[in-house]
Structure 1
Amino acid sequence: MTNLGDLEVFVRVIAAGSMSTAARDLGLSPAVVSKRIKRLEDKLGTRLLQRTTRQISLTEAGQGFYERVLTVLGGLEEAEAYASGRSSEVNGTLKISAPTSFGRMHVAPHLKPFMQAHPDLTINLVLTDELTDIVGGGFDLAIRIAGLNDSSLVAKRLASVRRVLCASPAYLAEYGTPRSLDDLKAHRCLPAHNHEYWRLEGPDGQVSLRPEGQLITNSSEVIREAVIAGLGIALRSTWDIGAELKSGKLVQVLPDYESSRSVALFAVYPTRQFLPAKVRLFIDYLAELYGPVAYWER
């Protein structure tokens, strides 16, 4: 039977991205970590990791093995919590991926109560706008804003996401308020990415248009600041500019048109029979925090 400690070392190596980092985290020498990985590979009769001087990566067999090991270790953690009556007492590290702006605005400010309730738990919050490889990156869960259709992952819907067309009062005073989608051709629009299409739903169903403007950037946060500053019309999520809409810094234009309603906010995690208590507790915390109607919509 495979040594359980070797499985834990294997998972830690994948999460850390290198044997030396995993060794430091585990309080072991790199040589010991390498020896235990080799022992595991010898036991299984297959190579799990591709090693180079700079990085490691999972082989095809390693990927499938890693996913199943997560299930085993997650089940053990859940079983221990159940047997000891510590289902609300968690420790270790919870590694979370979230979109940059959303994580900064709607995850980070709310960590304190959760961390105070679970003082033995360490949060590793990674903010990125790239699509995270949850399994390969060793993440416990990811917060995603999308229309999900990946059956290899489990997703819990946390909140609806609305994207609306908006502009500053100063911009509208100078350039006028558009009355139809065709009017947008004469306006300065602010796409979040070059060559982006705006896909909207309106009275006549779905429509798609390519916005034109003078500002080109790969930063969604730059677009946010630009629309507030009066540089044009943007399509923004209400979680991003809800406060500005309420204060009057921004005004919704063409209110009959919004982005696709199939997009929502999800907590996504690897498929496993037993969800670790730390993941379940954090997902429940976010679901209660955002509520049936998210606070930025109230």
Structure 2
Amino acid sequence: MKLDSIATFVMVVQSGSLSEAARRLRISRSVVSERLVDLEKELGTSLIQRTTRKVTVTENGTAFLSRAIRILREVEEATADLAERRGSLSGPLRISAPATFGRMHLGPALFPFLVHHPEIQLTLDLNDRRVDAAADGFDAVIRHGPIPDSFLVAWQLATSRRILVASPTYLAQHGTPTSLSELEGHKGIFYTHRGQADWRFARQGETKVVHGQPGLVLNNGDMMREAAIAGLGITLLPVFIISSAIRSGELQMIDVGIEPEREFIYIAHPDGQNPSTKLRALAAWLKDAFGSPPYWETELDAFLDFGDQTVQGNADVLVKPELPR
């Protein structure tokens, strides 16, 4: 049984067609078809039903798929392990991360890591949807929120403070709430993937839930910030998204006398899966790059403490800690 044939089968399933698998593997469609035929002959069963428009995985193909992915991963990890024993980090690394955080902060921290370790082949999927790390083939997921109690082992990368904000225009028209009861009557801009249109606060171990009036529900932090700047309502967002908008005056902070629930930036890998040396190295690198507390929070705190002198009139510049070497 050839590894090329197994890899081709997995790629066909993941891409959804023989033509797309051929494009991604940079081989001809006829070679993809030949490899599938060879694998099916070797296994003595049909793995895929082919039509002119799509491929459908058979029951036996579904049963073989998870093992095929595991076989390929084991080979990749074995190769990478030998490289690590020689003192270098190499091989594939598949990570899922949130879109807004990835664009604003993860990318700038990741790129020097990849320059420092050029033999690592990183696949980064920026998506806010919930993913099953093991089933979707990710070595780890980077997420923002409460650290979940799940079948994942989570390592904290940074704290993440969230702040209620709205535009000066909205607050001038509708008033500034100073308590949870006043907040309840305001229009809210909410995040889709949190499941409910509410704001959650914590006091002495107890969660306080406030249901605002849903004015807009979105699945992207950038657009939530822009909607708040446009005056569409109040939103609760992490500092890493809204720091520059607060410093520029486009958004104003709202104090209702209670802190939002605590959240974190964390990286998590499936329980029972031994994390690779390169994944541990990446986690350590990111933790150092973000800082403790993270640079996006210390910069905002400095601005709030010392005013405009801190940023010298440039609200888009963040003073980041030196990246690890």
- TM-score, reference length from structure 1: 0.78
Q: Distance in 1 between matches of 2:105 and 2:28?
A: 39
Q: Which amino acid aligns with 2:84?
A: Y
Residue 105 of structure 2 corresponds to residue 106 of structure 1: yes
1:120-160 Cα offsets, whole Å, 9 max, x none, are: 44544332222234445443432222432331x44332222
1:69-104 Cα offsets, whole Å, 9 max, x none, are: 255224312332134x1423x25x544322121111
Q: Identify which range, 231-240 or 209-218, moves more after superposition.
A: 209-218
User: Which SS does the other structure have where 2:158 is aligned?
Assistant: strand
Q: How far 1:206 sits from its partner (Å)?
A: 0.8
Q: Which amino acid aligns with 1:149?
A: D
1:40-75 Cα offsets, whole Å, 9 max, x none, are: 455455665565632555854134314532552243
* 1:50-61 aligned within 5 A: 53-55=53-55, 59-61=61-63
1:216-261 Cα offsets, whole Å, 9 max, x none, are: 55544332112234443211112222333455542132141302x3
Unaligned 5+ runs, structure 1: none
CA contact (8 A) 1:97 1:143 kept: yes
Q: How far 1:192 sits from its partner (Å)?
A: 3.1
Q: Which amino acid aligns with 2:197?
A: E
Q: Identify which range, 104-113 or 21-30, moves more after superposition.
A: 21-30
Q: Identify which range, 50-59 or 126-135, moves more after superposition.
A: 50-59
Q: Which amino acid aligns with 1:73?
A: V
**2:319 match:** none
Q: Which amino acid aligns with 1:34?
A: S
Higher relative contact order (CA 8 A, sep 6+): 1
Residue 290 of structure 2 corresponds to residue 290 of structure 1: yes
**Residue 204 to residue 73, structure 1, CA distance change in 2 (3 Å):** closer
User: Which SS does the other structure have where 1:28 is aligned?
Assistant: coil
Q: How far 1:182 sits from its partner (Å)?
A: 0.8
User: Which SS does the other structure have where 2:88 is aligned?
Assistant: coil
CA contact (8 A) 2:189 2:218 kept: no
**2:198 match:** 197
Q: Distance in 2 between matches of 1:264 and 1:228?
A: 25
Q: Which amino acid aligns with 1:182?
A: S
**Residue 70 to residue 264, structure 1, CA distance change in 2 (3 Å):** farther
* 1:1-298 aligned within 5 A: 2-14=1-13, 16-44=15-43, 53-55=53-55, 59-83=61-85, 85-88=86-89, 90=90, 94-146=93-145, 147-151=147-151, 153-193=152-192, 196-203=197-204, 205-215=206-216, 217=218, 219-246=220-247, 249-259=251-261, 261=262, 263-270=263-270, 273-298=273-298
CA contact (8 A) 1:228 1:250 kept: no
Q: How far 1:196 sits from its partner (Å)?
A: 1.4
Q: How far 1:297 sits from its partner (Å)?
A: 2.0
Q: Distance in 2 between matches of 1:127 and 1:290?
A: 19
Q: How far 1:210 sits from its partner (Å)?
A: 1.6
Q: How far 1:181 sits from its partner (Å)?
A: 0.8
Q: How many residues of Structure 1 are paired with residues of Structure 2 in the alignment?
A: 291
Superposed CA RMSD: 3.4
Q: Distance in 2 between matches of 1:68 and 1:271?
A: 15
**Residue 281 to residue 203, structure 1, CA distance change in 2 (3 Å):** closer
Q: Which amino acid aligns with 1:256?
A: I
Q: Distance in 1 between matches of 2:34 and 2:116?
A: 38
CA contact (8 A) 1:166 1:235 kept: yes
**Residue 105 to residue 125, structure 1, CA distance change in 2 (3 Å):** same
**Residue 216 to residue 98, structure 1, CA distance change in 2 (3 Å):** closer
